[in-house]
């Protein structure tokens, strides 16, 4: 596992640490490293998560942390990517995240991750796949 993945995973080992991380914010570089390692296009992910690119790149240039809203959206994405890779395998996970899924109302999972409700729905679908109750 890469160092950016390890740093992000450490947030999920303790719910209080996760909350603190969301409140404090994370470095744009940490997210960018993770996205690049996973072969995601940064600007595409920002757009799908409804995070303005100008704000993101300004924070990066100024070496500032992302706000809590952006941090929480990225942590949701990270969680889903990790779960999808565990359930489906690395390459299939990425394909699945960008494909319309009937049980998600014919929506693309990546497009649902800008909200907590969408995140829960995607995670629920991954659990159903994992336990063989997916239709």
Residue 108 predicted with pLDDT over 90: yes
Q: Say whether 121 sits in a helix, a strand or coil.
A: helix
Q: Is the pLDDT of residue 87 over 60?
A: yes
Mean pLDDT of 90-102: 95
pLDDT of residue 14: 86
Which pLDDT does position 1 carry in this prediction? Answer: 63
Position 6 scores a pLDDT of: 76
* d(C-alpha 101, C-alpha 94), whole Å: 13
* Average pLDDT value over all residues in the chain: 92
- What lies within 8 Å, CB to CB, of 76 at 6+ separation is 113, 116, 119
Decide: pTM greater than 0.85. yes
Picking from 87, 86, 2, the residue whose alpha carbon sits closest to that of residue 39 is 2
Cα 65 from Cα 104, distance rounded (Å):
32
pLDDT tens-digit readout, 37-74: 988 999 999 999 999 999 999 999 999 999 999 999 99
Q: What is the pLDDT of residue 134?
A: 66
- Cα–Cα–Cα angle for 60, 116, 95, nearest 5°? 75
Distances in whole angstroms, Cα of residue 21 to Cα of each of 10, 15, 121: 10, 10, 23
User: How far apart, in whole angstroms, are the C-alpha atoms of residue 42 and residue 133?
Assistant: 33
């Amino acid at each position: 596992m890469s160092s950016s993945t390890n740093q992000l995973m450490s947030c999920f080992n303790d719910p209080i640490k996760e909350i603190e991380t969301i409140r404090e914010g994370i470095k744009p570089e940490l997210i960018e490293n993770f996205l690049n390692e996973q072969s995601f296009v940064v600007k595409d992910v920002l757009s799908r998560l409804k995070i303005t690119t100008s704000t993101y790149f300004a924070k990066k240039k100024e070496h500032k942390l992302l706000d809590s809203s952006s941090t929480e959206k990225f942590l949701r994405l990270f969680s889903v990517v990790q779960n999808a890779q565990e359930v489906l395998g690395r390459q299939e996970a990425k394909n699945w995240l960008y494909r319309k899924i009937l049980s998600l109302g014919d929506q693309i999972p990546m497009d649902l991750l800008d909200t907590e409700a969408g995140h829960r729905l995607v995670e629920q679908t991954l659990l159903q796949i994992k336990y063989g109750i997916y239709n």
